[in-house]
Structure 1
Amino acid sequence: MRERINEVEAKGFQVIVIAPSKGTFISQFLEQFGPFPFPILGDPSREAYRGMGHKTMPKVEASFKSSTRVYYRKSRRLYP
């Protein structure tokens, strides 16, 4: 996204990243991989995520699905 931000903004969109992490983790991430031309905000309680109607797949199920997709070389989405 960082490399193509100008294309996205030229179409009239604004990019704001909301990560399911605490501010300290986001700060460490930015130190390691930043800077980014858009804000990265933390939502450790995932209120925004759930507020948009998203649901989290249990980690065991997500791990199983991703490993079987890699094993069988399927490129479908993990979530139905």
Structure 2
Amino acid sequence: MSVSNGDKTFEQVFHEWLDDIEKRGQKVGLTITHICRDSGVSRATPDRWRVATPLSVTLIDKMQEVVAKAESK
């Protein structure tokens, strides 16, 4: 329902970003631990996000749905 990402939800884009960060880091010799440490994020946080998407991300999708429903009327 995203305007800029076609039919992808913000949650899908969020998970793609996580994967992209890790893959790009690997290409330049960075581990996810190094990326987390240098960005001030707990090492466990990306793992938690992969298991359970942060509530704020899922709420954005719900907000998108409300607007899209109103627009379709």
Asked if these proteins are the same fold (TM beyond 0.5), I'd say: no
From the CA coordinates, give the structure whose radius of gyration is larger. 1
After TM superposition, the score normalised by the length of structure 2 is 0.29
Q: TM-score, normalised by structure 1?
A: 0.27
